[in-house]
């Protein structure tokens, strides 16, 4: 695929995540009952960055959980025996912030909601994404967005993060 545009560089990603961190604190009037849940793969390092930002602002280390939604996806054969890391956390009466890199159709978020509700009933669930590109197939919206990027269905948004890709950058490819 050919790179069409760089939509976020390292500094822009950092600014977006700081803004999201502040918005999480403001919207929830602090972080007392907040837990962050990063969706595998790129939502996890984003969750850790947001946790670090919140800790710098509030001097509180918000709990983080890593979530693999593989068994909850609607596009895999349920007969396949897929080994996933089990998640053992309690979300009852917590404000859960689901964190992912890109919001597109909404299917990943739906799978994450199913996985979370299997662990208990949260007080509230909110969604934070680095990029919202539109084209929803489900009625899901993000509460905290780094950048809204209207795209065509033929384009692809590629998020690269230092922890996984040795660089921070968001690209549109076609």
pLDDT digits (tens, 9 = 90+) for 57-99: 999 999 999 999 988 888 766 555 444 455 677 899 999 999 9
Q: Which residue has the higher pLDDT, 8 or 73?
A: 8
Neighbouring residues of 116: CB distance < 8 A, sequence distance ≥ 6: 37, 67, 91, 96, 98, 122, 125
Task: Determine the longest span between alpha carbons in the chain, in angstroms.
Answer: 46
Residue 122, phi then psi, degrees to nearest 5: -70, 160
Predicted pLDDT at 42: 98
Least Cα distance to 45 among 134, 171, 167 occurs for 167
Using alpha carbons only, what angle is made at residue 127 by residues 76 and 50, rounded to the nearest 5 degrees?
A: 110
CA–chain centroid gap for 10, Å, is 18
Q: 10-154: which CATH number, 3.10.20.740, 3.10.20.30, 3.40.50.2020, 3.30.300.30?
A: 3.40.50.2020
CB 93 within 8 A of CB 33: yes
CB 48 within 8 A of CB 74: no
Instruction: Give the rounded percent of residues in the chain with a pLDDT score beyond 90.
Output: 84
Can you spell out the DSSP letters for 74-98?
A: TTS-TTS-----------TT-EEEE
pLDDT digits (tens, 9 = 90+) for 110-161: 999 999 998 889 999 999 999 999 999 999 999 999 999 999 999 999 999 9
Predicted pLDDT at 84: 47
Phi-psi region of 61 (alpha: psi -120 to 50; beta: other; left: phi over 0): beta
CB 64 within 8 A of CB 34: no
- Domain-by-domain residue ranges, the chain? 10-154
Place of tokens 């489900």: 138
pLDDT digits (tens, 9 = 90+) for 17-38: 999 999 999 999 999 999 999 9
């Amino acid at each position: 695929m050919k790179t069409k545009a760089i939509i976020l560089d390292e500094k822009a990603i950092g600014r977006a995540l700081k803004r999201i961190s502040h918005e999480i604190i403001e919207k929830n009037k602090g972080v007392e009952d907040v837990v962050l849940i990063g969706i595998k793969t790129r939502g996890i390092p984003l969750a850790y960055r947001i946790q670090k930002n919140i800790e710098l602002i509030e001097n509180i280390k918000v709990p983080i959980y890593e979530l693999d939604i593989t068994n909850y996806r609607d596009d895999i054969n349920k007969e396949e025996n897929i080994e996933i890391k089990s998640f053992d956390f309690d979300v009852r009466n917590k404000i859960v912030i689901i964190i992912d890199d890109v919001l597109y159709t909404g299917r990943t978020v739906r799978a994450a909601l199913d996985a979370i509700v299997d662990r208990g009933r949260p007080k509230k669930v909110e969604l934070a994404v680095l990029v919202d590109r539109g084209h929803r197939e489900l009625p899901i919206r993000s509460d905290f967005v780094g950048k809204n990027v209207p795209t065509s269905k033929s384009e692809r948004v590629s998020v690269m993060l230092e922890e996984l890709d040795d660089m921070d950058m968001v690209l549109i490819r076609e």
